[in-house]
Chains A and B, each alone.
Chain A
Amino acid sequence: MKKQIQLLSIAFLAFSLPVLAQDNAGLKLPEGFKANLYANNIGGARHIAITKSGVIFAKLNNPNKEGNSIVRLEDANNDGVADKINGWAKYGGTGIFVKGNSLYASSNEAIFKYELNSKDEVVNPLAPVTIVSGLIDRRQHNSKSITFDMANNIYVNIGAYSNACQEKDRMPGSQGMMPCPILDSAGGIWKFDGSKENQTYKDGKRYGTGLRNVIGLDWNTNSNQLYVAQHGRDQLNSFYPNLYSDAQNAEIPAETFYEIKEGDNAGWPYVYYDPSQHKKIVSPEYGGDSKKEGSSEFKEPAVAFPAHMAPMAVLFYTGNQFPAKYKNGAFISFHGSWNRAPLPQEGFFVAFVPFKDGKAIGEWEIFANGFAGTENGAKIANPSKAKARPCGLAQGPDGSIFVSDDTKGAIFKISYSK
């Protein structure tokens, strides 16, 4: 009898282990990849950053139930799951970045710098240095995402506090303002000195403009260029039902991924990118009729993604763990749409864009899916029904990647083995 039970439990183990391993924390991944929950319920985790030793810092949208808005996570026993978790800071925000022995974090109007010791612990949690302050926060599109170039310059998104720069925001029939007055202090990427204290607009430089709201941005160290992913404008169908059907609004405009050089203009609010016509089209608030082509002075996207899916982070993969095709390519997380309604929502995945010789090539593909947690990948009507919404992306020292979720605060670890 005992033997039978032993045999049974061995059989049970043999049966259940592969099942557990295949579970992949509910994610659907390409062949050879596996995923697990590195952490859960830490609070809505926006961007994440990883030190050389593998310590993860997550910036939370709002303070969590412990009252912290930056969380430090460490996998001390190296089993793929965080076992030392603590936090500090009272300000909500999105941006976080590790540069050498410094940790940078952003609120919705400022950027702060902390010092790390040799154990990647923050030395001055209550007394960070203010690098930049006074950035515009008028609620809408107020996330201040940050990245660095290979020198010590910091790039920060200042989103436009508007949908389409109408005289009255989101008011049907309200015209677009000409020129759009928002662009002098928002709707673009600003560049600051990463080592200088107490900077504000006058110390920075508008690096790229005509970008409605960028949450995902990363420096491509392979081509030495900034790449940004823009959230395209909303509500073409509700403002102009005679020009756009609900079905058309669900596909227009594209969410666009740009290579941004200094002085580039991506054209918001004057144009949007129509992925079916492969053209920049004049916005209806500026006299467009859904067909009239916009000025050629505006930047062409490197990649056009389906509409409204909300790109949240860009990560150029420099690791050696994943197969060769991923090297120097870009992962982009998508939060999932709301403005496809009344059609079902889309997104809630991490996409991959292959790169060759520093340029995006070929078709983008879905890399990791299933974050929404619906049965058999069923569509959902409302993003609030998604179990997890992909947000931050970061690469670990061993070449695994991490994806954060800003609903309850899960962190997924994705690895590859042959």
Chain B
Amino acid sequence: MVNLLMNRAIKIILLSCFLVIAQYSNAQNKINGKKIYETRCLVCHQSDGGGVPNMNPPLDGATNVNGKDIARLVKIIRNGYDERIALDGMYYNNAMAANPDLKEDAIADVLTYIRTSWSNKAGVVTTSQVKAALLKNKAAKK
């Protein structure tokens, strides 16, 4: 009986440790993502994620940024974007530079920052999700 209780206690302690670590690493990811955002994205998408009217689309509150199509977001970050973009009833014209040097974990971090900042509550993007997205994009290209 005592053993059983001990077992449970250990399980609970281990689980909470795991949760704390997971949360801590999410926070770390977001901090890292913020750094990447500030050096590469902020100039056009602005500090509040609001974008610039007619030029650079907003990320804050944007439906596709908060949507389920992670692969598309990964593709835009990696390859850039050079078409007129229609978003939530507005049009944006400027080209976005590619980021070929951003590794999978860095893309995950910056997407995590973007999708959990300002009014966005779409949640974390993991490195494995980014890897899967890159594979999917590669397959679609073939």
Closest beta carbon of chain B to A282's beta carbon, Å: 22
Query: Within 8 Å of chain B (Cβ to Cβ): is A287?
Result: no
Q: Is the CB of B38 within 8 A of A338?
A: no
Which of chain B's residues has its CB closest to A385's CB?
B50
Q: Is the CB of A342 within 8 A of B97?
A: no
Query: Known interface pairs A382-B48, A384-B51. Does A168 touch B97 (Cβ–Cβ under 8 Å)?
Result: yes
As a 0/1 sequence over residues 24 to 47 of chain B, the CB contacts with chain A under 8 angstroms (1 = contact) are: 000000000000001110111011
Query: Within 8 Å of chain B (Cβ to Cβ): is A321?
Result: no
Q: Is the CB of A170 within 8 A of B84?
A: no
Known: A170-B97, A171-B98, A238-B40. 6 other contacts (CB 8 A): A139-B84, A169-B82, A169-B95, A234-B43, A341-B46, A385-B48
Q: Mark the stretch among B1-9, B52-60, B128-136 that contacts chain A.
A: B52-60
Q: Please give, as numbers and ranges, the residues of chain B lying within 8 Å of A382 by CB-CB distance.
A: 46-48, 50-52
**CB < 8 Å neighbour of B93 from A140, A168, A235:** A140
- What's the dominant secondary structure at chain B's contact region? loop
Closest beta carbon of chain A to B87's beta carbon, Å: 13
Q: Please give, as numbers and ranges, the residues of chain A lying within 8 Å of B42 by CB-CB distance.
A: 341-342
The count of A-to-B residue pairs whose CB atoms sit within 8 angstroms is 63
Q: Please give, as numbers and ranges, the residues of chain B lying within 8 Å of A142 by CB-CB distance.
A: 93
Query: Within 8 Å of chain A (Cβ to Cβ): is B91?
Result: yes
How many chain A residues touch B (Cβ–Cβ < 8 Å)? 25
Q: Is the CB of B55 within 8 A of A341?
A: no
A62 to B55: give the CA distance in the assembly, Å: 14
Q: Please give, as numbers and ranges, the residues of chain A lying within 8 Å of B52 by CB-CB distance.
A: 338, 382-384
Q: Is the CB of B43 within 8 A of A384?
A: no
A383 to B54: give the CA distance in the assembly, Å: 11
As a 0/1 sequence over residues 100 to 128 of chain A, the CB contacts with chain B under 8 angstroms (1 = contact) are: 00000000000000000000000000000
Q: Is the CB of A341 within 8 A of B93?
A: no
> Which 7 pairs across A and B sit closest by C-beta, in order of nearness?
A139-B93, A338-B52, A382-B46, A382-B50, A384-B50, A171-B97, A170-B97
Query: Known interface pairs A168-B97, A172-B97. Does A342 touch B47 (Cβ–Cβ under 8 Å)?
Result: yes
Query: Within 8 Å of chain A (Cβ to Cβ): is B116?
Result: no
Closest beta carbon of chain B to A184's beta carbon, Å: 20
Query: Within 8 Å of chain A (Cβ to Cβ): is B94?
Result: yes
Query: Within 8 Å of chain B (Cβ to Cβ): is A360?
Result: no
Query: Within 8 Å of chain A (Cβ to Cβ): is B96?
Result: yes
Q: Is the CB of A383 within 8 A of B97?
A: no
Q: Is the CB of A170 within 8 A of B96?
A: yes
A168 to B79: give the CA distance in the assembly, Å: 12
20 contacts between A and B (CB under 8 A): A139-B84, A139-B94, A139-B95, A140-B93, A140-B94, A168-B97, A169-B82, A169-B95, A172-B97, A235-B43, A238-B43, A338-B52, A341-B47, A381-B46, A382-B46, A382-B48, A382-B50, A382-B52, A384-B52, A384-B53
Q: Please give, as numbers and ranges, the residues of chain A lying within 8 Å of B80 by CB-CB distance.
A: 171
Centre residue among A171, A338, A385 by max chain B CB count within 10 A: A338
Query: Within 8 Å of chain B (Cβ to Cβ): is A209?
Result: no
Query: Within 8 Å of chain B (Cβ to Cβ): is A157?
Result: no
Closest beta carbon of chain B to A253's beta carbon, Å: 15
Q: Please give, as numbers and ranges, the residues of chain A lying within 8 Å of B47 by CB-CB distance.
A: 341-342, 381-382
**CB < 8 Å neighbour of A140 from B48, B91, B95:** B95
A residues 124-143 with Cβ under 8 Å of B?
Answer: 139-140, 142
A341 to B49: give the CA distance in the assembly, Å: 12
A124 to B54: give the CA distance in the assembly, Å: 30
Query: Known interface pairs A61-B54, A62-B91, A385-B50. Does A339 touch B43 (Cβ–Cβ under 8 Å)?
Result: yes
A239 to B134: give the CA distance in the assembly, Å: 26
Which of chain A's residues has its CB closest to B48's CB?
A382
Q: Is the CB of A381 within 8 A of B48?
A: yes
Closest beta carbon of chain A to B91's beta carbon, Å: 7
A381 to B43: give the CA distance in the assembly, Å: 11
A381 to B82: give the CA distance in the assembly, Å: 26
A306 to B44: give the CA distance in the assembly, Å: 19
Closest beta carbon of chain B to A92's beta carbon, Å: 9
Centre residue among B47, B50, B52 by max chain A CB count within 10 A: B52
A140 to B93: give the CA distance in the assembly, Å: 6
Which of chain B's residues has its CB closest to A345's CB?
B46
Q: Please give, as numbers and ranges, the residues of chain B lying within 8 Å of A170 by CB-CB distance.
A: 94-97
A407 to B90: give the CA distance in the assembly, Å: 12
Which of chain A's residues has its CB closest to B94's CB?
A140
